[in-house]
Structure 1
Amino acid sequence: MLAKLAPLDPRDTADLRPYLATVADPRSRRGRWYPLTCILTICACAVISGARTIEEIAEWGQRAPDALLAAIGARPHPLRRRRSPAACTIDRALCRIDPHALDTAVCAYLADRHSATTDGDKDTRPAHQAIAVDGKTLKGSARTDQPRRHLLSALTHHPPLTLAQSEVGAKTNETRHFLPLLQGLDLAGCVITCDALHTVQDHLKRLVEDKKAHYVAVVKTNQPTLHAQISALPWDVLPLAHTRSEKGHGRRESRSIKVLGVADSLGGICFPHAELALRIHRRRQQAGRKQTREMVFAVTSLDAHQATPAQLAALVRGHWAIENSNHHIRDVTFDEDASTVHTGGAPRAMAALRNLAIGVLKVAGAVNIAKTTRAIRDLPEHALPFFGIGHEPHLSGT
């Protein structure tokens, strides 16, 4: 498994530690033994090795040999032996740090890793970088005196790398955090995909005019006027523009798309910068179950010269795929929904570390995240090259 992943040479990979060093240490200088960057690096290495809880992160550190801890930055004790931080030390650090600062550092690292892998391959780079805006609830973070934490993220479609993440309190607060989430990103020429919750005229108008980006937005009945206008378009007389069928996991899916120009000069729909309306028809047949059908409408600022029907279908499909390529992995492989971490900034910090692990593994070429984490679980030194950290005594065997 490790032989198929590239790059594994730390000299070819950006070092994570300078990014983590930008996170301020909230702890008192008195009695502080482990640098915060060292603790966060141990957390990153443990999570990419499959650690799901703070206790498992501490156990990973306990298995790490002295030379590995030295490479990470752990200070030696008076007897010249290095020890990794205990679970209580890691827990206190994650609870007290600024989770926004950690998110910013992790997202900046992933963005730089992504640009380093795509800038040199201009022939295969997509015409428009697709970024999905989607939310996720940390179900295990709720307590009787506090609701569940809810995070809103901006992720690239392929590979699914988190470029920005913020805590919004509840799903109903996602809308007003949409523009602030994207404020710090360079979105010129990018395509933002979003579900019906974020199909808001003012937000998408500012996205096009201020950020010079495009959008593909799903339309549902929460926008009754827009939904009525799109559903009333003459779809029945239009031919299918693109179809695709897939089989796998005991089910068969087929998707077809129709595309219609809706420029204002043609008396189209009342939505800012809308150029095309889409109608996607999905059919799913699972073994032993009744066939299900679904009709979805969408609107985009891309015109027919900027995207083909197949590319538009891929953009919509790519947004739906975020659920499997990121959220499902966090819930199943890293057991995020079962995590009971709930104090301070720890829930969001753990989510950032999981995003970091998924993004780094995807950039390295991992197809099956669970299988890859199992391959490096019992060999702590194998985690370091993924973050650009050299460890000479053990790198020769990887």
Structure 2
Amino acid sequence: MSAWCWGTCSSRAKARTTRFLPCNGSSKNWTWPGAPSHWTRYICKKTVDQVTAAGAHVLCQLKANQPRLHDAMHKHAQQCPVADCAYDCDVGQRNRVEQRKVRVCALPPGSGVESWQDHFLTLIYVRRTTEVFDTATACFVPCAQAPAYYLSTLSSTKVTAREFARVVRKHWSIENSLPHVLDTTMAEDASRIRRNPGVFTCLRQLALNLLRGNGERNISQALYRNAFSLDKVLNYAGIWQK
């Protein structure tokens, strides 16, 4: 499974409204790169059991660290009929065009390789194709990415493919604006701090929240400007309590 999952909470007063929220039991806090597959499988099972017991729903990305389930879902995506599909295309930064095709398939009981995986009712198949403008040839060069698989405890009859696509896209916006910024701009991955690393993790989060709260969108440029002017940092809202 992937290191993230989404929970959904439905209001009884508004039965048709589904609100997607981050799941507190995300396996990101409990797994690490290269973790044994049986340990990752146990963590995912525990997370899914907790979410379903709370009456919520989960959507998670399936990756190759669960090879048996990944192969089973790959075969299922090739053989089973498509319940719904959606298409999206947008022009991103750096002269990049991205196309996303989303297909949704219903999962009958027993589609997984273990009994607890019967909680999943829907398979979401996402294929992305990116075209990047090449200045040397003055044309767009296509770059197809490997398909991504997502599993959800929500039925495909209740949520459309476009809604699933929106949630998957929303996850990547969080990934790009938080973990990616911490890993690259704030050099969290390169940190060699081994004693009380959580203290510096909190400091990075505090600094990032302070910059975001003061309207800074490009964190790299904000850090560069602040390095030349301490007064700019001290004038941020939230530094001094009035």
What TM-score does the superposition give when structure 2 sets the normalisation length? 0.68
What amino acid maps onto 2:146 in structure 1?
A: E
Q: Secondary structure at the match of 2:200?
A: helix
Residues 127, 199 of structure 1: alpha-carbon distance in 2 compared, 3 angstrom cutoff = farther
Corresponding position of 2:100: 255
Deviations 1:255-299 (A, max 9, x none): 1111122243xx644513112111111112223355223211121
Q: Secondary structure at the match of 2:187?
A: coil
Higher mean C-alpha displacement, 309-318 vs 329-338: 329-338
Deviations 1:17-52 (A, max 9, x none): xxxxxxxxxxxxxxxxxxxxxxxxxxxxxxxxxxxx
The structure with the largest alpha-carbon Rg is: 1
What amino acid maps onto 2:51 in structure 1?
A: V
Q: Secondary structure at the match of 2:186?
A: coil
Q: Which runs of 5+ in 1 are unaligned?
A: 1-124, 136-151, 153-165, 178-196, 392-398
Q: Is 1:386 equivalent to 2:238 in the alignment?
A: yes
**1:205–1:272 Cα contact (<8 Å) kept:** no
Corresponding position of 1:351: 201
| Distance apart, 1:343 and its partner CA | 4.5
Corresponding position of 1:304: 156
Q: Secondary structure at the match of 1:171?
A: coil
Corresponding position of 1:216: 59
Higher mean C-alpha displacement, 273-282 vs 232-241: 232-241
| Distance across 2 between alignment mates of 1:350 and 1:360 | 15
Q: Is 1:206 equivalent to 2:49 in the alignment?
A: yes
Corresponding position of 1:294: 146
Corresponding position of 1:326: 178
**1:216–1:298 Cα contact (<8 Å) kept:** yes
| Distance apart, 1:344 and its partner CA | 1.5
Residues 174, 349 of structure 1: alpha-carbon distance in 2 compared, 3 angstrom cutoff = farther
Q: Is 1:246 equivalent to 2:90 in the alignment?
A: yes
Corresponding position of 1:285: 131
* Within-5 A mapping of 1:50-61: none
**2:84–2:160 Cα contact (<8 Å) kept:** no
Q: Secondary structure at the match of 2:76?
A: coil
Residues 131, 317 of structure 1: alpha-carbon distance in 2 compared, 3 angstrom cutoff = farther
**2:106–2:121 Cα contact (<8 Å) kept:** yes
Deviations 1:348-387 (A, max 9, x none): 211221122323444555432334455665224323x336
Corresponding position of 1:226: 69
**1:204–1:272 Cα contact (<8 Å) kept:** no
* Within-5 A mapping of 1:67-106: none
Q: Secondary structure at the match of 1:229?
A: helix
| Distance apart, 1:175 and its partner CA | 8.1
Name the structure with the higher strand share: 2
Fraction of identical pairs, as percent: 20
Q: Which runs of 5+ in 2 are unaligned?
A: 1-16, 135-140
Corresponding position of 2:33: 171
Residues 337, 200 of structure 1: alpha-carbon distance in 2 compared, 3 angstrom cutoff = closer
| Distance apart, 1:225 and its partner CA | 3.5
Corresponding position of 2:6: none
| Distance apart, 1:331 and its partner CA | 3.4
| Distance across 2 between alignment mates of 1:201 and 1:333 | 30
Paired residues in the alignment total: 211
What TM-score does the superposition give when structure 1 sets the normalisation length? 0.44
| Distance across 1 between alignment mates of 2:107 and 2:63 | 17
Corresponding position of 1:128: 20
| Distance across 2 between alignment mates of 1:201 and 1:334 | 29
Residues 212, 229 of structure 1: alpha-carbon distance in 2 compared, 3 angstrom cutoff = same
**1:238–1:258 Cα contact (<8 Å) kept:** yes
Residues 240, 253 of structure 1: alpha-carbon distance in 2 compared, 3 angstrom cutoff = farther
| Distance apart, 1:218 and its partner CA | 1.9
